[in-house]
Homo-oligomer: A and B are copies of this chain.
Amino acid sequence: MVENTSQEEKIIIIGSGPSGLTAAIYAARAGLSPLLIEGFQSGGQPGGQLMTTTEVENFPGFENGIMGPELIERIKAQAQRFQTRFVSEDIEKVDFTSKPFSLFSGSKTWKTHCLIIATGASANILDHPAVKKYWGKGISACATCDGALPVFRNKPICVIGGGDSAIEEAQFLSRFASRIYLIHRRDKFRASKAMQDKLLSNSKIEAVFDSVIEDISGSNFVEIVKVKNVNTGQITEIQAKGIFMAIGHTPNTAFLNNSLELDEKKYIRVKHPTTATSVDGVFACGDVTDPRYRQAISAAGSGCCAALDAEKWLSEKGIE
């Protein structure tokens, strides 16, 4: 049986990463009493991708770095301080065809006049138990975030992938690492010719074709990566302190079931520079709209913008 929550909400925010939480801080301080639905889209817990990272060095204001989960905890406390209400449910379905909008989890329904979607994106990762085991212990999905960490400096590392972004990340990481093994399961890269030429001219990067990760070992941190050639079955051991996944991201938009306009990669299309979507009264922010930057601070910034857009929209509609 589906429970209908009796209240019509003024504003609901879906998502509990930096973007959704920042939207909550702004909406709450504007006196809108937002309801934030924190789901489990990313990594099986609320809080988004920062919950599965360790030290964050690049969120401005924390000059000595801060652990990802602690940062989320602090932003959440801030949203709570201004009376954001939280519920833990995964939204599985929406109905934007009538107003107020309806949101459905498996067991509950909500109605809201205005909606902010901040459900994020998930880094695609290899489905291998060793990858889960060493996640955050040498394995990362963000070269920008983690490439410069001391633990990878002047050390050999692996990058997994074969597209433009894999080669970009390998190039980027070659500034810090001593050697880079770019491991790709096919016999050539999908990346553009220009990109591949760059790769060839970079003596630090070695392409390892037709290969997949067989196993990872190390006492507490990645030390040895076992790579299997998919044609010959031969196993090679690579000494590496890190593994960077560069096999893409998937925006968490499946639950929307095409109720609003997505781009060709299924990210929500917004009317830049605003956070308005194709549905009047629905706003979106953070990684679910952003295939390009995907940083905690850029997500937080756009969360602020979404709340200000929503506040203005509600005020214009006279919904107080």
Contacts and interface: CB of A to CB of B under 8 A. Distances in A.
Among A63, A71, A295, A305, the one with the most B-chain Cβ atoms within 10 Å of its Cβ is A63
A299 to B, nearest CB: 7
Contact of A293 (B30, B74, B171, B305): B305
A28 to B, nearest CB: 9
Interface string A282-307: 00000000101101011111111100
Copies in the complex: 2
Interface string A8-26: 0000000000100110011
A233 interface: no
Interface residues of A, number: 51
Among A59, A290, A292, A297, the one with the most B-chain Cβ atoms within 10 Å of its Cβ is A297
B57 A74 contact: no
A148 interface: yes
Contact of A304 (B63, B293, B308): B293
Contacts of A290: 273
Contacts of A297: 22, 297, 300-301, 303-304
A66 to B, nearest CB: 8
Given A176-B31, A273-B292, A59 B58 contact: no
A220 interface: no
A63 B58 contact: no
Contacts of A193: none
A26 B148 contact: no
A121 interface: no
Contacts of A168: 312, 315
Contacts of A71: 61
A5 B110 CA distance: 62
Interface stretch (A75-83, A89-97, A99-107, A178-186): A75-83
Interface of A: 18, 21-22, 25-26, 29-31, 57-64, 66, 71, 74-75, 77-78, 81-82, 144, 148, 168, 171-172, 175-176, 272-274, 290, 292-293, 295, 297-305, 308, 311-312, 315
Given A26-B144, A274-B292, A293-B308, 11 more contacts: A26-B58, A30-B144, A61-B61, A61-B62, A61-B78, A171-B315, A172-B315, A272-B272, A293-B304, A297-B303, A297-B304
9 contacts: A26-B144, A26-B295, A61-B61, A61-B66, A63-B78, A171-B315, A273-B292, A274-B292, A298-B302
The 10 A-B pairs with the shortest beta carbon distances in the complex, nearest first, are A301-B301, A272-B272, A63-B78, A63-B77, A31-B175, A298-B301, A60-B75, A29-B148, A22-B60, A272-B273
